[in-house]
Structure 1
Amino acid sequence: MAQGYVKAVELPQVIPVFPLPGSILLARGQLPLNVFEPRYLNMVDDAMAGDRIIGMIQPQAVMGRDPHPPLTRVGCAGRITSFAETSDGRYLITLTGVCRYQVASEIQVRTPYRQVRADFLPFERDLRGQEPYAGFDRPAFLDALRAYLEPRGLNVDWDTAEAAPPEALINSLSMALPFEPPEKQALLEASALDARAEALTALLRIDAAASDDDGPAMQ
């Protein structure tokens, strides 16, 4: 049961959305956000007064600075599970992922933030609890992760990576690692955990190979 929801029909049909390139949310994942734009402060206020649901979504890549760029077709709704206000008026919130959704349509609203009609049914499995993954090859995955991180001077808590449930490990890295927006979207839209793990492993290996190619030439 995800944040008290059991079936897709229990989720709100219309949700506010926070378009943010390069940022995805996955079921049961936690996404910290520093909210400072007035329209999104308004959105958080309204969400806190209601069901606390906000839909994360990436805008499509477009040329120019369109204030309302088209949205990708799939996002993930999260519930505000942590809230704090800073002395300068910003909100520090944490969204905990509830369920992915398809954008059925964007609706015309008077609010300063955007809202969509969300179809959660294609992703109802997100509400069933943590996905099992009996075939997860953790050693191969961690080897690929290490090859990706080391050239970038990055690190993780390897003890945690060794012990974490597959879903928590795969989803947290899918959310946190700095892949390009289309790559992030592919991870978000992966049909199941095993498909996401395969896609993530492939991205780690491709980027690690590219990093090796860009290294200094041997004299």
Structure 2
Amino acid sequence: MPINADYRGPADLPEVIPVFPLPGALLLPRGQMPLNIFEMRYLAMVDDALRDGHRLIGMIQPDLTHSASEDKPELFHVGCAGRITQFAESGDGRYILELTGVSRFKVVEELTVLTPYRQCKVDFFAYADDLTARKGEDEVDRKRLLEVLTDFLKVNNLKVDWNGIENAPNEALVNALAMMSPYGPPEKQAMLEAADLKTRAEILIAVTEMDLAKKRTSGDPGLQ
């Protein structure tokens, strides 16, 4: 899905962005993430992102295993910036958004700010390839990915739109499956930080195979 912004390189992106810590949330370049915003601090974040014109929000997971504070947990060092591409007011004080992933980023430092939401100085240059659509998708083992997906759906008694899957380019397929996957924050973070699309697909396949093996050998319901 194209967005109405021409990001030719990391230099076109701001050095400081608001961040939205959300465990288990995985946004990837050109992926879409719906958000239901109701907390006052994040309503203010959206207002400011729209007012500033960049419309960017950094989705990032809190690193709960290394956090001393529940109110302000440590953050993982890599997140993904998304641009607000759909916006609606609910009428009851909430915002209904859709973010479209732009590029991953590394956190350089979290800033001390007066805003109720957190802000970070970030580096997009490490992920410059994210701005090139479908880069590296020819290296993805699509056949193996679909085999594992078929097994996963069968074990969990799920159905999907196979016509849509068969027509999806590799990048869209891998990233959508990764974002929708039922796995925990460590697995989601590993897929986010994958060096390239091929590696992300391999991580997704490996994690799914481990989950399937666990279910088959122990009867454990596995990751849901």
The answer to whether TM tops 0.5 is: yes
Specify the alignment match of 1:205 in structure 2: 209
Q: Secondary structure in 2 aligned to 1:48?
A: helix
In the superposition, relative to structure 1, how do residues 149 and 65 fare at CA in structure 2: closer, same or farther (>3 Å)? Answer: farther
Task: Letter of the 1:52 partner, please give it.
Answer: R
Q: Among 5, 10, 13, which residue is 2:15 paired with?
A: 13
- Does 1:141 find its partner at 2:145? yes
Q: Among 42, 59, 75, which residue is 1:56 paired with?
A: 59
Q: Is the 8 A contact 1:106 1:117 kept in 2?
A: yes
Specify the alignment match of 2:47 in structure 1: 45
Q: Is the 8 A contact 2:136 2:198 kept in 1?
A: no
Specify the alignment match of 2:176 in structure 1: 172
Q: Is the 8 A contact 2:174 2:201 kept in 1?
A: yes
Q: Is the 8 A contact 1:132 1:166 kept in 2?
A: no
Specify the alignment match of 2:94 in structure 1: 90
Specify the alignment match of 2:219 in structure 1: 215
**Which deviations, in whole Å up to 9, do the C-alpha atoms of 1:8-34 show, x marking residues without a partner?**
111000000000000011111111111
> TM-score, normalized by length of structure 1?
0.93
Q: Secondary structure in 1 aligned to 2:159?
A: coil
Specify the alignment match of 2:124 in structure 1: 120
Q: Secondary structure in 1 aligned to 2:36?
A: strand
Residue 214 of structure 1: how far off its partner (Å): 3.2
Q: Is the 8 A contact 2:134 2:170 kept in 1?
A: no
**Which deviations, in whole Å up to 9, do the C-alpha atoms of 1:150-193 show, x marking residues without a partner?**
22233321111122100000001111111110000000000101
Q: Among 32, 35, 60, which residue is 2:34 paired with?
A: 32
Distance 1:121 1:82 in 2: 26
**Which deviations, in whole Å up to 9, do the C-alpha atoms of 1:118-174 show, x marking residues without a partner?**
100000111122224224332321110121222223332111112210000000111
**Which deviations, in whole Å up to 9, do the C-alpha atoms of 1:99-122 show, x marking residues without a partner?**
100000000000000000010000
Q: Is the 8 A contact 1:57 1:72 kept in 2?
A: yes
- Does 1:69 find its partner at 2:78? no
Distance 1:137 1:75 in 2: 25
Distance 2:31 2:107 in 1: 20
Distance 2:181 2:153 in 1: 10
> TM-score, normalized by length of structure 2?
0.91
CA RMSD of aligned residues (A): 1.7
Residue 204 of structure 1: how far off its partner (Å): 1.3
Q: Is the 8 A contact 2:30 2:100 kept in 1?
A: yes
Q: State the identity %.
A: 50
Q: Is there any run of 5+ residues in structure 2 with no aligned partner, and where?
A: none
Distance 1:128 1:134 in 2: 14
- Does 1:187 find its partner at 2:212? no
Distance 1:53 1:173 in 2: 23
